Structure 1
Amino acid sequence: MSPDPLKTERAGSALQTYTLTCAACATTTMLATPLYAYLDSANIVMLFLLTVLGVAVKLGRNAAVLASLLSVLCFDIFFVPPRFSLAVSDIQYVVTFFVMLVTALTTTHFTSVLRQRAQEALRREQQTQALYLLAKQLAGVLQLEQVVEISASFIRTQLVAQAVVLLPDEGRHTLSPVPFGAPLPVEMHLARVAFDSGRFVRSDEVMGMGLAAFYFPLKAPMRMRGVLAVAFPAEAEAPGDATLSLLEALSSLIAVALERLHYVEVAQATEVRMLTERLRSSILSALSHDLRTPLTAMVGLADSLFLVKPTLAPAALETAQALHEQADRLASLVGNLLDMARLNAGEVRLRREWQLLEEVVGASLKLLGGALSKHRIRVILPPDLPLLEFDAVLIERVLCNLLENAAKYAPEGSTIELRAAVRDGHVDVAVLDEGPGFPMLRKAELFNMFVRGEAVSGKPGTGLGLAICKAIIEAHGGEIDVENRPEGGARVYFRLPLGVPPSIEEELP
């Protein structure tokens, strides 16, 4: 088994320290020997005390204790009669030895304490400076791997330890290490406890098993971002309070950096999405504007074929009717695209007026007379429905889209209901049908552009109806949502704020 290099290095350093201590005492003895005939014993003692003080300052406590013992021994052998022996002719020298040893040890103690505190202060200053530089580096990183690399390098350099950052998945159910450098075994249970509790967790039992024993939660201002697992070498001393405080400060910096990266990604994704929507709206607006004129001409030309004299053959009239229907459907599609582009661009100004909802409902049913002819229509409106402030044209578009969708997907002969009720300062308007309903697993996507309720459907459409409805209702300060009825079918409902209608003064007779 090969020797531990760290232990070998420490043994070599201790041997060198003790060698220097013996050399210092021997040097003092050689310098004081020629002065023996001229100096009093007390002055020679001072020379040895000065040596002990120097050793304590330069070499530390253990070397100073050895220097104290060697100084007493050298003073006894070389300067106390009879010289060159351990015998003492005068009993008073025993007191001198005792006072000299106590003074040397006391000086060693206080000097070592001061030296240790000076070293700790210097180390804290260095760590604080390194922590400040680390904070500057983390403030400029743009990738998660950079955060992990900088943090691991800091721990490896300042604390001679290994570290790994554990991040939660999207569901926040499991923690996974960020791959960087050599893998560090961790105890996932301890990491989970630190993540869930938000408190520092340590376990000295797993240290001997080669696992990380210290787990610091990465607690950011908004939420928990992960866990920092740290492992110190098995032969190293247990970290003190100063080291743990440093790691806690480091954990806070890592958490803030991770949260900043998260919101940078969110901001970038939002900006890209906004630019994409703006570009798409611009393209749709340009295309729909350029297509509207030729489509209107096509509808007019198809209508003119019915007025030709003499009357065209039945086959030609059927072709003209089909051309009219397709051109009219394409014109409606282009109109929806243009409306959606305007709504997304914020170019639509609401013409709000206080009016009755019944009038808009009646206009919508009349406009969709042909599309609703194969269904039973039931309208349930309370007689005391108050006036509402809304744009009649846009709300009519919402009702037309909802009723047309219900008629498109509900089976022929089924009932389509339109209901309204006053609840909690709002008016709820709902359209109910007896169709297949909505795929609720994709509920969050139903109001996006070009998303349809059925993944595979032979029904014509582009998936713009609900998106237009949502944009119009939200522009009025309302909400819109969908749900499936327990008895079968779908329910699409929106709510509009009641507001305070103007007072109407009665006319005097």
Structure 2
Amino acid sequence: MADKPHRLGYFWGVAAPLVCTLIDWPLRHWLGPASILMTYLLGVFWVASRYGRGASIVASLLSAPLFAFYFARPIFSVAIQDLENIIGLAVMIVVANVTGSLLEKSKLQTELARQREIHANALYRLSRDLSAAPDHDAVARIAVEHIHAEFGVASVLLNAGTEDRLQPPPGLPLPVSLKDIDFAEAQRAFATRKITQENHITYYPLKNSRAWQGLLIIEATKQLSWQASERAAFLDTFCHLIAQTLERLQLAAQARDAKLQAETEALRNALLTSISHDLRTPLTRIIGAANALIENDAEFSVAERQECNHIVLDEAQRMSELTGKLLDMARLNSGEITLHRDWNAIEEIVGSALNRLDKHLKDRPVRTLLPNSLPLLWIDAVLIEQVLVNLIENAVKYSPEGSPIDICGQAQDGYCLLTVADYGPGIAKGQETKIFDKFYRGVAESDQSGAGLGLALCKAIIEAHGGLIHASNRAGKGAEFAISLPLREPPLIAEPEIAGSL
């Protein structure tokens, strides 16, 4: 099949001068020798443009005797008496050869450009798909698909695991033609870091700038032997892109591990700092009160003794609350807490939270605006009460004594919106979301006790209910915390039957 175009070219190399002769013969009385030579030159040029230099040479060599025999004086003789016709023939032959050579080079350059465009498009498609690969399995699948599409051969990608042990990607079956892969030979090829071929299988170790990433096993067929050097370079580029992607995934995994380790270390340091600071103060006061009771018990009055007992009790409660918040946060993060949902009225939960904080509120006014039309909520009452307690405590801590606290509620767009607002200095700019991070304590909180867990715990509880919580500043007032809890259709309450009714 490969010789058919060549045979067709030589056929037209013979046929074109004959066709030119048939066209020029009836017109010989009106066309001069120069015009007839141009006709033959046009035929040679057409053959060169379509079939290359060899066919054009045949056409030019055949055009010369045909012109001499039929059109150069004396006609019907290959002898040429006119020097002009001899020069014209020589020029035609030279021009035909030069033109054929130039056209052949142009066609070759065009074909090379076309092949390079095809390769560039293939590399672009491979690079595009590999850039979106999320893991090694996706890289293996993409590599196999693109190698089969571009080279028509089966392949499989083995990733380098620990201690340079090759690991076939799970869930990627081997092609039938690669069933007889010798994995021991593959491991040896990867260990030697050299491209090797065993029977009909070729092993390509993959390396990028940092390390060896794996091994590409390719079925070696005759298709890979065509244009060996160019296709080998093309395949090397394929392998380089695959290795580059594997390295990118490896570096991304290392970056994630390093980030996680840094975050864990930062969290551990924050925990130790917060716990040591917030436990030291109550422990110091407890120890001081206990020592005073032991050393001066006989000298203390009843009121002084009662004051020391209250100090011990209050500081012990602070430690208990801190420990409880830590445990609750740990359980929420691990998913161990189960929400005990039930239908509850939010005004009852608000009232219970205020009762718990009666001692902390003292004479501070709390203004509640909770319409009677608020629907029942499908929530864990204990946890939502804890959220409100934390928010109210936060408002008490960061607002002037005697300033009011506003608690409002309304149903809006399928959610119950609760807000707890104070009249303090508000939240520093840029800290509206950071204050919900675990152990985060703003600049304004440096002189306040607390581990920075209260708001983080509120966020975890609200999100466990499918809701949202965010903080903002009210113009000319203080901070406002807004909670959105999803509404559900409340259950129907059966009306009791009236005695004696029909």
The answer for the alignment partner of 1:158 in structure 2 is: none
Structure 2 matches for 1:140-155, cutoff 5 A?
none
The answer for the alignment partner of 1:236 in structure 2 is: none
Q: Which amino acid aligns with 1:109?
A: T
The answer for the alignment partner of 2:110 in structure 1 is: 120
Distance 1:278 1:385 in 2: 45
Deviations 1:175-202 (A, max 9, x none): xxxxxxxxxxxxxxxxxxxxxxxxxxxx
Deviations 1:108-153 (A, max 9, x none): 3244223222133235435755786798799999xxxxxxxxxxxx
Distance 1:356 1:383 in 2: 10
Superposition TM-score, scaled by structure 2 size: 0.52
Distance 2:254 2:415 in 1: 34
Distance 1:263 1:448 in 2: 30
CA pair 425-270 structure 1, distance change in 2 beyond 3 A:
farther
Distance 1:328 1:370 in 2: 13
The answer for the alignment partner of 1:16 in structure 2 is: none
Once the 2 structures are TM-superposed, how far is the Cα of residue 447 of structure 1 from its aligned partner? 0.8
The answer for the alignment partner of 2:349 in structure 1 is: 360
Q: Which amino acid aligns with 1:118?
A: L
Aligned with residue 478 of structure 1, among 467, 474, 477:
467
The answer for the alignment partner of 2:336 in structure 1 is: 347
Superposition TM-score, scaled by structure 1 size: 0.51
Aligned with residue 497 of structure 1, among 481, 486, 495:
486
Could you tell me whether the CA contact under 8 Å between 1:434 and 1:490 is conserved in 2? Answer: yes
The answer for the alignment partner of 2:400 in structure 1 is: 411
The question of 1:98 aligning with 2:75 is answered: no
Distance 2:474 2:109 in 1: 75
Distance 2:87 2:424 in 1: 108
CA pair 346-324 structure 1, distance change in 2 beyond 3 A:
same
Once the 2 structures are TM-superposed, how far is the Cα of residue 488 of structure 1 from its aligned partner? 1.7
The answer for the alignment partner of 2:173 in structure 1 is: none
The question of 1:385 aligning with 2:374 is answered: yes
Number of aligned residue pairs = 322
CA pair 500-444 structure 1, distance change in 2 beyond 3 A:
same
CA pair 134-501 structure 1, distance change in 2 beyond 3 A:
closer
Q: Which amino acid aligns with 1:361?
A: V
Distance 1:368 1:136 in 2: 64
Distance 2:367 2:410 in 1: 15
Could you tell me whether the CA contact under 8 Å between 2:80 and 2:86 is conserved in 1? Answer: no
The question of 1:336 aligning with 2:325 is answered: yes
Once the 2 structures are TM-superposed, how far is the Cα of residue 270 of structure 1 from its aligned partner? 8.3
Aligned with residue 439 of structure 1, among 416, 428, 437:
428
Structure 2 matches for 1:272-311, cutoff 5 A?
272-273=259-260, 276=263
Q: Which amino acid aligns with 1:383?
A: N
The answer for the alignment partner of 1:225 in structure 2 is: none
Structure 2 matches for 1:110-259, cutoff 5 A?
110-125=100-115, 129=119
CA pair 278-429 structure 1, distance change in 2 beyond 3 A:
farther
**Other structure's SS at 1:442 match:** coil
Distance 2:400 2:426 in 1: 12
The question of 1:429 aligning with 2:433 is answered: no
CA pair 470-364 structure 1, distance change in 2 beyond 3 A:
same
CA pair 89-336 structure 1, distance change in 2 beyond 3 A:
closer
The question of 1:488 aligning with 2:440 is answered: no
Q: Which amino acid aligns with 1:113?
A: L
Distance 2:385 2:299 in 1: 38
**Other structure's SS at 1:440 match:** coil
Could you tell me whether the CA contact under 8 Å between 1:284 and 1:338 is conserved in 2? Answer: no
Could you tell me whether the CA contact under 8 Å between 1:438 and 1:454 is conserved in 2? Answer: no
The answer for the alignment partner of 1:231 in structure 2 is: none
Structure 2 matches for 1:22-37, cutoff 5 A?
none
Deviations 1:271-318 (A, max 9, x none): 84499459959x979x99xx99xx99x99xx99x99xx9996454443
Q: Which amino acid aligns with 1:466?
A: L
Q: Which amino acid aligns with 2:108?
A: A
Could you tell me whether the CA contact under 8 Å between 1:284 and 1:341 is conserved in 2? Answer: no
Q: Which amino acid aligns with 1:101?
A: V
Once the 2 structures are TM-superposed, how far is the Cα of residue 319 of structure 1 from its aligned partner? 3.2
Q: Which amino acid aligns with 1:482?
A: A
The answer for the alignment partner of 1:159 in structure 2 is: none
Once the 2 structures are TM-superposed, how far is the Cα of residue 338 of structure 1 from its aligned partner? 1.1
CA pair 343-123 structure 1, distance change in 2 beyond 3 A:
same
Distance 1:507 1:501 in 2: 18
Distance 1:425 1:263 in 2: 45
Distance 1:488 1:262 in 2: 50
The answer for the alignment partner of 1:234 in structure 2 is: none
Q: Which amino acid aligns with 2:92?
A: V
Could you tell me whether the CA contact under 8 Å between 2:384 and 2:461 is conserved in 1? Answer: yes
Distance 1:487 1:279 in 2: 36
Distance 2:334 2:421 in 1: 31
Distance 1:261 1:480 in 2: 37
Distance 1:271 1:424 in 2: 42
Identity %: 35
Structure 2 matches for 1:459-478, cutoff 5 A?
459-478=448-467
Once the 2 structures are TM-superposed, how far is the Cα of residue 455 of structure 1 from its aligned partner? 3.9
CA pair 323-275 structure 1, distance change in 2 beyond 3 A:
same
Once the 2 structures are TM-superposed, how far is the Cα of residue 502 of structure 1 from its aligned partner? 1.2
